[in-house]
Amino acid sequence: MRPVWSRHRLGRPPRPDVESAVSDVEGQLMALRHETKLLRETVALQGEELTRLTTLAGDLLRAHADVQSSVRDMALALAGALTSATSGDENIAAMGRALEYRVAVQRLRERLRNVVPATAAVAVVTRGDDQLLELEGRRAWHFPQTEDGEWAGHHPATSQAAVVQLETLRAHGASYLVIPAASRWWLDHYAEFTRHLESRYCRVVDADEGVVFALALGPAPAAGDPLGLVAIVDECSARTGRRPSVLDWTPSLGLASVLPAEAVFSPPDAGDALPYLDGSVDVVVVRPTASVAAQTEAARVAATAVVTVADVAAEQCTVRWSVGPRPAALPAASIVVAGPLENDGRAATLAALAETSPPLPVIDSADPAGLDVLQGSVDDVLVFLEAGLVPLGDWLAPMLEPFDDQDIAAVGGRLLNFDGSLAAAGGVLFADGSVVGLGEGDVNPDATPYAFLRDADAVGASFVAVRRAALAGVGGVDPAFTSALAAGADLCLRLRAAGWRVLYQPKSVAASSGRRPSPWRGSEGSDAERVLARWHAVLTCCPDRPATFDVQTWMALANRQPAGAAR
């Protein structure tokens, strides 16, 4: 009889604990497989339900659109019937026009829904109608408006006034301009304003409901070109007559793949310096986080444009045209944004400076006189810009170019009010010590008396470039004055007494943002007394202050020799 060998006899006793654990695991696996099957079936059912709901939602949206369209058609038909009623009842006709207008407003809202992001700020030509500001939660502002944001009560006096309002609101964050159908006549009436819009911004809507401009600098992006880079390169080619070279100073974005047909290259080394000659590359592309030194290098190397790209995915791209090598005549300079740090207009000033060419270092100063930066600066020229002022267009180079003449100590620009009227084209001193902004209040800031470069009695301390050595030599701006114009007049008199000249430059323009609680606003009387006491002998040759001012008076005052100038 054969022996029966068991595991126990072979030295391997049974292990019930292991077998039990294996059995438990196998049971759990079977349970998991069952649960997985159930989950798959559930997901499939939910997917079918989601598809059904999506289809239903689409059907509902289409039905809603159809209903809205039908309601609009009926409303328009009713409006037409009421307007053309033969009864002669003007009240019925007025009801028809009002109904027609409400339909037009609703159609405009629907058009903007698909064009303007929900988070955007929008300037709207409202003619005072608050209905046009109800844009489904979007921030919407009257255009034009008063300093407190209400409708101005009238249309802009000139194209220049419209441009000033637009650029100040843009500096405050407006990213779209809406011109409803009822105000389309603006585009013909304000021809210079329209040229300003067309040359700088994108017309993204032109329909029966109205016209919409996107207020980001640069041409309109095309399909398949979300950044608008292809359009920029094509525009560059049109300007130069050849395909441009593109320097990609944003290696992480891989612009060579975005512009496969162009000559795109990157610098050999990292850092803020480029190993290329001035104006030797057509287009330089940078990131907005680039340092001031890198932005200056980009402006130096670019012959035609500097493009700032935030992120391909974010579809953010701006272009600054006609940026070439920095002219040799321009001195080294810094921009001093002066005034209380809590000034609400400071953000608008800094936003405008971000587009200034050539880019310069910006220094924040809480002192309106800027005395705190005078000793620490090493640049040849300090450009003082009061927080809350918005510089317009190509303002910086014209302000710096005159310093090529070594007799020039200061250059002041043209100041506009928030509504586009003239605040000061330089200042005029009178025998009683008072100082008045030349052309103050004129609704035509481009009139002849304000449009030429000249030696000036005074320029305001709120918008002026001053040679640092000259400023230090006369002890800086006197903070005892309460108005920028009087402080500037006193500074100009001290500079001329030291043998320097002071110019007014009409090409350098800045406008009030409407939100600048100026530290300079004070008593004209006390300032006049201080000027008279300090400069009595010089003021004897100044004219008496006229009772009224007109264009002829301003012209005569503009042509006179500045007080304290060498005879």
Domain boundaries, the chain: 72-114, 119-214, 229-321, 333-559
Contacts of 38 (CB under 8 A, 6+ apart): none
**The domain defined by 333-559 carries CATH number 3.10.20.30:** no
Looking at per-residue pLDDT, the higher value among 548 and 262 belongs to: 548
**Cα distances (angstroms) measured from residue 390 to each of 13, 240, 343, 431, 508:** 93, 31, 13, 33, 11
Mean pLDDT of 121-144: 92
Residue 250: pLDDT above 90? no
pLDDT at 326: 45
Query: Residues 6 or more apart from 303 whose CB is under 8 A from it?
Result: 240, 279, 280, 281, 282, 324, 325
The pLDDT, as a whole number, for residue 383 is 94
Residue 252 contacts residue 274 (beta carbons within 8 Å)? no
The predicted model gives 531-549 an average pLDDT of 91
Q: Does residue 218 register a pLDDT over 80?
A: no
Whether the per-residue pLDDT at 200 is higher than 90: the answer is: no
Average pLDDT over residues 313-319: 60
Q: Write down the pLDDT at residue 91.
A: 64
Distances (CA, A) of 346 to 7, 19, 513: 90, 78, 9
Residue 7 has pLDDT above 60, yes or no: no
Residue 497 scores a pLDDT above 90: yes
How many CB atoms neighbour CB 198 within 10 A? 12
Give every CB contact of residue 397 below 8 A, 6+ residues apart in sequence: 327, 330, 357, 358
In this structure, the number of other CB atoms found within 10 A of the CB of residue 67 comes to 10
67-74: average pLDDT = 60
DSSP codes of every residue in 143-195? SSB-TTSSB-SS--SSHHHHHHHHHHHHHTTEEEEEEEGGGTTHHHHSHHHHH
**pLDDT for the residue 185:** 95
Q: pLDDT grade, residue 178 (50/70/90)?
A: very high
What value does the mean pLDDT of the chain take? 81
Task: Evaluate whether the domain defined by 229-321 bears CATH number 3.40.1350.10.
Answer: no
CA distances to 25, 257, 330, 565 from 15, in Å:
16, 65, 93, 114
Average pLDDT over residues 386-405: 91
Which of the listed ranges 22-36, 197-211, 310-324, 329-343 does the model predict with the highest average pLDDT?
Answer: 197-211
Q: What's the one-letter identity of residue 1?
A: M
- Inform me whether the pLDDT recorded for 1 exceeds 70: no
Task: Count other Cβ atoms within 10 Å, centred on residue 550.
Answer: 9
- Confirm if 219 and 319 have CB atoms less than 8 A apart: yes
Summarize the confidence of residues 135-152 as an average pLDDT.
90
Q: How far is CA 190 from CA 157, 162, 182, 201, 417, in A?
A: 9, 8, 15, 16, 19
**What confidence score (pLDDT) does residue 193 get?**
93
